[in-house]
Amino acid sequence: MQQFRHNIDLHCHTTVSDGALSPAELVALAQKNRLNVLAVSDHDTINGYRECKPLADEAGIKLISAAEFSCQIDKINIHMVALGMDPNSDAMKKAEALQDQIREQRAVTISEKLEKYLSIPDVLTQVKAISGNSVLGRPHFARFLIEQGVVSTMEQAFNKFLGAGKIGDIKLIWPEVGDVIELVHQAGGKAVLAHPFKYKMTKTKLSRLIDDFWDMDGDALEVVSSRQKKDDTGWMIRQIDKRNMMASFGSDFHASASWSDLGMFSAIPEVGLNWVHNSILEEPVALSIIEEK
Ligand SMILES: [Zn+2]
């Protein structure tokens, strides 16, 4: 699964959600990696974009507003990358508030359970001091448990308290994908089904999921997400062609590693796909592979 450096990345994360780099560090990396177009798609919030925008402007990088929304479709949890919304629109503020409320409710429940079980008071206040401005998630609880000396690693925190079947394993009930797509459209954005192969479905089931997404007015599929087999990319192109959808792509970058970098993902064959970013940008930008020097 060979990967290449590209000039555009439409899916990545910062410390605003679960990424390792701050917005400033991410923009600096985008500049170093010679990206022209970037969409910062932090989980359930557009704050990554909001923070990166002035820095990207300064660096001469075209920044597309984005967020990766958790939603459900037929009781299956999926991720949807929303691109090109007006971040100040009522619809987007509503979408963000909805996700926030769901996470907050879970955090309250986990906190109550941990308080009882470990006899530690005010868990939520302390976890929020750790999460700061980032989207509140279970990793913040894990860090809290380490700080309290209850466990010594993140892995232990998940194995003992937060992972599947443990007391902190509170299921989130995300909004229906159709409702989120509607809000994204109201805000002038496009809805992209993120990393379709990550849902570990058979191709038959995945094809049905794409049908449902398309029926609910979804706009695009990620034809390539980070490292991907050539055959899978071919299959995804056929899914896009069949329904006349738009195509998106990205690294889903969270942290630097030998196999992961901003702008780095498997090649996409030139078959005249209709790129979602060009339906948002004023002037089209061609996706290209950056030659290593
Ligand atoms: Zn992502």
pLDDT tens digits along 158-210: 999 999 999 999 988 999 999 999 999 999 999 999 999 999 999 999 999 99
Q: What is the pLDDT of residue 293?
A: 59
Q: For 280-291, what is the mean pLDDT? A: 95
* Angle in degrees, 0-180, between the axes of helices 138-147 and 123-131, rounded to the nearest 10: 110
Residues 6+ apart with CB under 8 A from 77: 70, 71, 172, 174
Three-state DSSP class for 290?
Answer: coil
CA of 69 to the centre of ligand 1 (A): 9
Kindly tell me if the per-residue pLDDT of 214 is higher than 80. Answer: yes
Question: 134: pLDDT confidence band, cut at 50, 70 and 90?
Answer: confident
CA of 115 to the centre of ligand 1 (A): 31
Domains and their CATH numbers in the chain: 4-88+176-279 (3.20.20.140), 96-162 (no CATH)
Q: What is the pLDDT of residue 92?
A: 97
Q: What is the pLDDT of residue 58?
A: 97
Query: Which residues make up the environment of ion ligand 1, defined by Cβ < 5 Å?
Result: 68, 252
Q: Give the integer Cα–Cα distance in Å for 48 and 180.
A: 19
Q: What is the pLDDT of residue 282?
A: 96
Q: What is the pLDDT of residue 135?
A: 86
CA of 119 to the centre of ligand 1 (A): 35
Three-state DSSP class for 200?
Answer: coil
CA of 46 to the centre of ligand 1 (A): 13
- Whether 47 contacts 16, CB under 8 Å: yes
Q: Give the integer Cα–Cα distance in Å for 124 and 112.
A: 8
Q: Give the integer Cα–Cα distance in Å for 26 and 12.
A: 9
Three-state DSSP class for 52?
Answer: helix
